[in-house]
Amino acid sequence: MRRGQKEQAERVVAALARAHEKIKYCMEKHDGAAAMLLLESCQEGAIDLGTSIEEWEGENVKTIALLEEYCELVYQIHEEIAKGNAANAGRAYKNLKQQMTKISNSIRNDIPVRMEVVFLPYKASMWDSLESVWRAAKADPACDVYVIPIPYYDKNPDGSFGRKHYEGAEYPADVSVTDYGHYDLKERHPDVIFIHNPYDEYNLVTSVEPAYYSRNIREYTDKLVYIPYFVLEELNPDDKEAVKNISHFITQPGVVYADRTIVQSENIRRAYIEVLTECYGKDTEKTWKEKILGLGSPKIDKLVNTKAEDVEIPDEWKKIIYGPDGVKKKVFLYNTGVSGLLEHSEQYIRKMKNVFEIFKANQERTALLWRPHPLIEATISAMRPQLWTEYKQLADRYREAGWGIYDDTADLSRALAVSDAYYGDHSSLVKLCLQAGKPIMIQDVEIVELERTDGRQ
């Protein structure tokens, strides 16, 4: 039984107890008609309560049997009054009170409180930012857990909504997904809702369905919890410039409206508190200290708990990762982000071409695993349509050539597990690869080298 349901049941019991006082008073005043009307109302209330408990908990609940006994008692007292045998009001009141005490104790002790926990991811590739929390909730026998992927839209250059996406079919096989159309947040009012999208309408590239903006869904839960889908580079919270550089991640609606925000470390927590206090006033500092928790990132949990031997590598990947002799090549995870492509445009495309040429020339010893940012298509096609055409042609040629891996799946952990080193843009992946002890090389878009013929790069 949900906490709200138990509270509702307890309110019904309290109302019945008050009615018993009135029944006693009417009987003492020899107002049998009024007493019988009250008894009839009590029986209707008890039947409704029993029906609700049966819907919530099933029929094999002790409380239902006690309510049935209560209804029989109410009927007997009603019949006695109807026959004119209503002299002993005190005895009737005592019997009603004793039975209601049994019912109250049964609701309190025999029906455990269950929490309803809802996860509202939107992109399947970002599920790792919630997964370890979901696993913990799922393992708790007192929790009913729902994963409800929500739809999102690409944004057109004018800010209007473009293509609609729904990725409910792209989650891991062990994640039971509930269709968002089959779960009414307002009606169900889950105890906790977890989100990983903080932007509401302020993301220039995409938008979740507005009904799921944080300012809306906070009305339909006792606790809204935001966990970032990204991992920030660690910083010294006393470094004012470093804190300022991440402030745009912090002053977002999801952070402001959430009852709790869980960030990756205590230093990042301090940065959040500083930025939010500066934005909303010194008198809000206590609020942010209570709301922001530096408990760690589920993305890091996922990385730590995923080993190369535990992931299923596609056969087409194996052909690229392993040489003819069965020896594994050195796998470079190549990460291309949105910001670099927007900032450097054609120069970034030239850099990518150069990277592909070098790795293609060295494919006997190395394997390139290219994983573009999941929002790159939506961003570039909306903000740089002419650049998108060139980028797409390059990506298509890379995939068709077949000498390297192209990974745009939702499973980031697999790519991290099979990779030996990181190469590419600054991003949250850098933090994850550092956590895994993988070498990091950040690409300089301005440097384009000629293909070497001596096997070095």
* Domains of the chain from N-terminus onward: 3-109 (1.20.120.660), 115-301 (3.40.50), 311-442 (3.40.50.2000)
- Residues 6+ positions from 5 with CB-CB distance below 8 Å: 52, 56
| Torsional class of 238: left (φ above 0), alpha (ψ -120 to 50), beta (otherwise) | alpha
Residue from 434, 418, 411, 414 nearest 368 by CA:
418
Does the pTM surpass 0.85? The reply is: no
pLDDT digits (tens, 9 = 90+) for 328-385: 999 999 999 998 999 999 999 999 999 999 999 999 999 999 999 888 888 888 788 8
pLDDT in tens, 60-94: 899 999 999 999 999 999 999 998 876 688 899 99
Please provide residue 194's backbone torsions phi and psi, each rounded to the nearest 5 degrees. -105, 135
- Closest residue by Cα to residue 388 from 399, 401, 400, 375: 375
The pLDDT tens digits for 177-193 are: 999 999 999 999 999 99
Which residue type sits at 444? D
Angstrom distance (rounded) from CA 418 to CA 331:
7
Containing 195, the helix (H) or strand (E) segment is: strand 192-195
Nearest Cα to 260, choosing from 285, 293, 231, 283? Answer: 293
Strands 115-120 and 143-147, how do they pair? Answer: parallel
* pLDDT at residue 87 in the model: 64
pLDDT at 440 over 50: yes
Rounded CA separation 188/191 (Å): 9
Say yes or no to pLDDT of 309 above 90: no
How would residue 455 be classed by pLDDT, with cut points 50, 70 and 90? very low
Angle between helices 89-109 and 62-82 (to 10 degrees): 170
6: which 2 tokens?
Answer: 């138990």
| Angle, CA 54 vertex, CA 224 and CA 42 arms, to 5° | 105
Q: What stretch of H or E contains 146?
A: strand 143-147
Q: Kindly report the average pLDDT of the chain as a whole number.
A: 93
Using DSSP's 3-state secondary structure scheme, residue 309 falls into helix
Label residue 200 left, alpha or beta by phi (over 0 means left) and psi (-120 to 50 means alpha): left
Q: Crossing angle of helices 3-28/32-57, nearest 10°? A: 160
Predicted local confidence at residue 452, as pLDDT: 47
Q: How confident is the model at residue 454 (pLDDT cuts 50, 70, 90)?
A: very low
- Residue 265 C-beta-side C-alpha neighbours within 13 Å: 13
How do beta strands 143-147 and 152-155 pair?
A: unpaired
Look at phi and psi of residue 175 and say left if phi exceeds 0, alpha if psi is from -120 to 50, else beta.
Answer: beta
Q: For residue 413, how many other CB atoms are within 10 A of its CB?
A: 21
pLDDT at 450: 53
Q: What angle do CA 397, 402, 407 make, to 5 degrees?
A: 85
Which tens digit of pLDDT belongs to each residue from 220-245?
999 999 999 999 988 999 999 999 99
Contact 195, 117 (CB under 8 A): no
- Which neighbouring-strand residues pair with 331? 367
More confident residue, 156 or 281: 281
What is the rounded distance in angstroms from the CA atom of residue 334 to the CA atom of residue 424? 5
CA dihedral 308, 312, 316, 320 (to 10 degrees): 10
The C-alpha R_g of the chain, in whole angstroms, comes to 31
**Comparing 298-307, 360-369, 437-446, which segment has the lowest mean pLDDT?**
298-307
| 154: enclosing H helix or E strand | strand 152-155
**Containing H/E element for 207?**
strand 206-208
Looking up tokens 């869980």, which residue turns up?
262
Q: What percent of the chain is predicted at pLDDT more than 90? A: 79
